[in-house]
Amino acid sequence: MIAHFVSAEATSPAKAVTFDPQRRFERKLVDEFKDKGILRPASNGGHYIVPDKLEAWQRERRKRTGLIFAGAMAIAAAAIGIAVAS
């Protein structure tokens, strides 16, 4: 979905494009982006991406993913330690 707006260079009201979410996941993501100000409506009926807000969202997402991965690795290391000690 993001690629649709980025490839169209829809980063201002003048360059806004339409997007019709086909999947439930896409509809939820559109709603989330609107709520966070990442995706804004334009007077032509389309929407455009606010690059700064998109970048902040992507940074936060990468940070969350890293924390989840680190937690999973810690659990795996603990499980291996317990198995070796047994």
Q: What is the mean pLDDT of residues 70-78?
A: 78
What separation in angstroms does the CA of 51 have from each of 1, 35, 68, 73, 77?
14, 15, 26, 33, 39
Task: Supply the pLDDT for residue 27.
Answer: 93
Task: Supply the pLDDT for residue 58.
Answer: 87
Integer distance in angstroms from the first to the last C-alpha of the chain? 49
Q: How confident is the model at residue 86 (pLDDT cuts 50, 70, 90)?
A: low
Q: How far apart are alpha carbons 40 and 81 in whole angstroms?
A: 50
19-72 pLDDT, tens digit each: 989 999 999 999 999 999 999 999 999 999 999 999 999 888 787 777 677 777
Phi, psi torsion values for 55, nearest 5 degrees: -60, -40
Element (H, E) at 15: none
